């Protein structure tokens, strides 16, 4: 059987991926739009999005159900509105079928009132861009100087002067042209960049005023409708105080200054070209020795915080406190550090000189131990693991690559008619230090916890991996993730679902109406459930009947069934 890759399909819209290095997103679109890289010499108009819904069953053609209701069949009846699942002051109503409906205040929409309606759809801003505001009519035109409000059609160069910090505005030859003569030590189109305007590390703390990309494009404001409505989790908030803390921390707001809210290598911004949005790194100087210097090329340094050796991996299942606002990258593209226990298991034929290629997923349990699926292991293959990164095609500072020293298959692992039983294995990594350490703990590399016991049906968990997407059966080079529900075992064993193929070594999860599943290429990857802010590895991606099909949820090795085996093998080695 082919290994399983993670398929991430949204019930509301197609899943975007980073399989391509550039993608376009029409300014008037209401679909999920992910950050799309455009190189300096690249024509933005040639960029494309790549999406997919192929599973290891290539004949699958079922139409994805676009209804966003969760399955709650055979789950103990409860009040779905307690606590309130609706964001942004939405009012929750129970629908009587074990689900809920959110009544959203304007301008919010979505299953949980997490997105914003396109208030800019019919707005024409001339030489400007429509931005979202939180008061009626919920939009305004942000004009590009020298064009003036309210509709950005009338130019008025130098009146008022757009030049800052004592700069002098000089009219050009045309009625809409001007330039700023800046005072000493100031630069930028509006003299807004001061002598100390530079970034350190990866620029996460940068709060300067550069608003131009390295390719010369002007940045658009962060509160444009395009940026505000990225992904499925836009405007998700666990409370107003948390949202305000996040906004203050990442520097995002109603401005167009460069920032780095998502772990890139330096500050960046979105820009618009021919009514299409892209992103690029910014022309920001890098601080060096206390003096702002212009780097010869963009820095790729990432500040990687590491605990002392004696404390490494002493605490499992805890994420590094996030500084990334959810309204920037909700949806499919995983942020750096979101799944720090995620492993890419890579293989090549033993004694070959060919490069390693991604084959399966896995979960880091400790510095030297990885949990994966037994059917991922082949005697003829040499294996290594890659940790820390979120892009297999990009060499990232957080990456750690380690050789696999040995492996242990479960003694009762069998495969019958493409169904794997006791599909679990352990990988022992090769130590790289004298004190026997293998992986080193950082904010991007951490271990998941083994579960204390069974979790309830209906619990929302997550799956992640470098999975196939809607149209690219080769798989995504970008780490993807999505949410699934734990499904009642009796429901999964119904004749119209998976029948008697299941046994107690398995657990199924997904959505019974289809659209979200684990697929070929990421067998062995994690099904992670969070309880009390601790992340537990509850399942190992194993097999399934098709991909994303209705009534065919994904099947995972049930980790609680193998706790004694896992602990015994790790101790004995």
Contacts of 396 (CB under 8 A, 6+ apart): 300, 302, 336, 388, 389, 390
Which entry of 217, 339, 375, 535 is annotated as an active-site residue? 375
Q: Assign 3-state DSSP to the chain and report helix, strand, coil percentages, each to 5.
A: 10, 30, 60
- Is residue 187 classed as helix, strand or coil in its secondary structure? strand
Q: Which residue has the higher pLDDT, 462 or 325?
A: 462
The pLDDT of 88-105, averaged and rounded, is: 85
pLDDT for the residue 318: 82
37 touches 257 (CB < 8 A): no
pLDDT for the residue 115: 77
CA-to-CA distance for 561 and 567, rounded, in angstroms?
A: 12
343 touches 386 (CB < 8 A): yes
477 touches 391 (CB < 8 A): yes
472 touches 48 (CB < 8 A): no
Q: How confident is residue 556, by pLDDT bands cut at 50, 70 and 90?
A: very high
Q: How confident is residue 345, by pLDDT bands cut at 50, 70 and 90?
A: very high
pLDDT for the residue 277: 76
With 90 as the cut, is the pLDDT of residue 510 above it?
Answer: no
Q: How confident is residue 361, by pLDDT bands cut at 50, 70 and 90?
A: very high
What are the residues facing 509 on neighbouring strands? Answer: 486, 554
Which entry of 447, 505, 523, 542 is annotated as an active-site residue? 523
Q: Which residue has the higher pLDDT, 227 or 546?
A: 227
Q: How confident is residue 4, by pLDDT bands cut at 50, 70 and 90?
A: very low
- Is residue 331 classed as helix, strand or coil in its secondary structure? coil
Contacts of 570 (CB under 8 A, 6+ apart): 365, 366, 369, 426
The pLDDT of 451-465, averaged and rounded, is: 91
With 70 as the cut, is the pLDDT of residue 382 above it?
Answer: yes
Q: Which tokens sit at 259?
A: 């920032």
Torsion angles phi and psi, residue 198, rounded to 5 = -155, 170
The model's pLDDT over 285-305, given as tens digits with 9 standing for 90+, comes to: 999 764 433 333 333 333 444
Q: What percent of the chain has pLDDT over 70?
A: 71
The model's pLDDT over 113-161, given as tens digits with 9 standing for 90+, comes to: 877 788 888 899 998 889 888 788 888 999 989 999 999 999 999 999 9
Query: Is 410 considered catalytic here?
Result: no
Burial class (CB in 10 A: 0-12, 13-18, 19+), 240: exposed
210 touches 286 (CB < 8 A): no
Instruction: Determine if residue 18 is left, alpha or beta; phi over 0 gives left, psi from -120 to 50 gives alpha, anything else beta.
Output: alpha
- Is residue 280 classed as helix, strand or coil in its secondary structure? strand
- What DSSP letter does each residue of 431-473 carry, written as one string? P-STT---S---SS--PPBPPSSPPPTT-EEEEEES---BS-T
Query: Is 523 considered catalytic here?
Result: yes
Which entry of 234, 280, 359, 423 is annotated as an active-site residue? 423
Burial class (CB in 10 A: 0-12, 13-18, 19+), 273: middle
pLDDT for the residue 240: 33
With 50 as the cut, is the pLDDT of residue 560 above it?
Answer: yes
The pLDDT of 273-295, averaged and rounded, is: 71
What average pLDDT does the chain have? 75
DSSP assignment letter at 223: T
pLDDT for the residue 292: 38
Q: Which tokens sit at 405?
A: 């020293």
pLDDT for the residue 232: 39
The pLDDT of 511-518, averaged and rounded, is: 57
The pLDDT of 447-468, averaged and rounded, is: 88
Cα angle 528, 23, 394 (rounded to 5 degrees) comes to 60
pLDDT for the residue 162: 92
Query: Is 505 considered catalytic here?
Result: no
CA-to-CA distance for 260 and 323, rounded, in angstroms?
A: 10
The model's pLDDT over 18-62, given as tens digits with 9 standing for 90+, comes to: 333 333 333 333 333 344 444 434 444 443 333 233 322 323 333
pLDDT for the residue 437: 92
CA-to-CA distance for 380 and 508, rounded, in angstroms?
A: 31
R_g of the chain, CA atoms, integer Å: 25
């Amino acid at each position: 059987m082919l290994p399983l890759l993670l398929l991430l399909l949204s019930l509301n819209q197609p899943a975007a991926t980073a399989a391509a290095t550039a993608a376009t997103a029409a300014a008037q679109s209401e679909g999920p739009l992910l950050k799309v890289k455009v190189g300096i010499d690249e024509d933005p108009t040639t960029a494309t999005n790549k999406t997919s819904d192929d599973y290891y069953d290539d004949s699958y053609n079922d139409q994805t159900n676009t209804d966003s209701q969760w399955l709650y069949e055979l789950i103990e009846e409860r009040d779905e509105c307690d606590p309130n699942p609706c964001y942004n002051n939405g009012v929750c109503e129970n629908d009587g079928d074990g689900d809920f409906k959110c009544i959203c205040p304007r301008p919010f929409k979505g299953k949980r009132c997490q997105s914003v309606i396109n208030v800019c759809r019919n707005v024409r801003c001339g030489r400007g861009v429509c931005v979202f505001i939180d008061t009626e009519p919920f939009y305004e035109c942000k004009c590009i100087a020298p064009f003036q409000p309210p509709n950005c059609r009338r130019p008025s160069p130098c009146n008022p002067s757009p030049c800052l910090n004592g700069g002098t505005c000089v009219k050009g030859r045309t009625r809409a042209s001007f330039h700023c003569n800046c005072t000493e030590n100031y630069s930028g189109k509006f003299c807004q960049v001061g002598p100390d305007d530079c970034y350190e590390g990866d620029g996460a703390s940068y709060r300067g005023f550069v608003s131009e990309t390295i390719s010369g494009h002007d940045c658009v404001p962060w509160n444009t409708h395009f940026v505000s409505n990225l992904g499925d989790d836009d405007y998700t908030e666990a409370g107003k105080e948390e949202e305000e803390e996040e906004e203050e921390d990442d520097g995002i707001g109603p401005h167009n200054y460069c920032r780095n809210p998502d772990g890139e290598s330096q500050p960046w911004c979105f820009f618009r070209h021919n009514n299409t949005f892209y992103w690029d790194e910014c022309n920001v100087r890098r601080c060096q020795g206390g003096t702002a210097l212009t780097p010869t090329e963009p820095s790729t340094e990432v500040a990687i915080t590491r605990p002392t050796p004696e404390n490494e991996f002493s605490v499992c299942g805890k994420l590094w406190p996030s500084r990334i606002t959810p309204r920037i990258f909700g949806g499919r593209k995983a942020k750096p550090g979101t799944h720090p226990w995620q492993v890419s298991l890579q293989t090549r034929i033993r004694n070959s000189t060919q490069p390693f290629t991604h084959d399966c997923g896995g979960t880091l349990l400790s510095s030297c131990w990885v949990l994966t699926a037994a059917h991922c292991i082949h005697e003829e293959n040499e294996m290594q693991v890659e940790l820390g990164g979120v892009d297999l095609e990009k060499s990232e500072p957080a990456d750690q690559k380690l050789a696999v020293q040995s492996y242990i298959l479960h003694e009762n692992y069998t495969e019958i008619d493409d169904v794997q039983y006791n599909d679990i294995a352990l990988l022992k990594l090769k130590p790289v230090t004298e004190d026997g350490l293998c992986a080193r703990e950082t904010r991007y590399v951490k271990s998941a916890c083994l579960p204390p016991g069974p979790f309830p049906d209906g619990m929302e968990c997550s799956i992640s991996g470098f999975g196939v997407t809607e149209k690219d059966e080769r798989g995504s080079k970008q780490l993807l993730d999505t949410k699934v529900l734990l499904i009642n075992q009796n429901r999964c064993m119904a004749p119209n679902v998976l029948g008697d193929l299941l046994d107690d070594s398995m657990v199924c999860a997904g959505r019974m109406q289809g659209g979200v599943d684990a697929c070929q290429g990421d067998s062995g990857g994690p099904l992670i459930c969070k309880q009390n802010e601790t992340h537990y590895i509850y399942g190992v991606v194993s097999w399934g009947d098709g991909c994303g099909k209705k009534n065919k949820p994904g099947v995972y090795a049930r980790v609680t069934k193998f706790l004694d085996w896992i602990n015994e093998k790790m101790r004995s080695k």
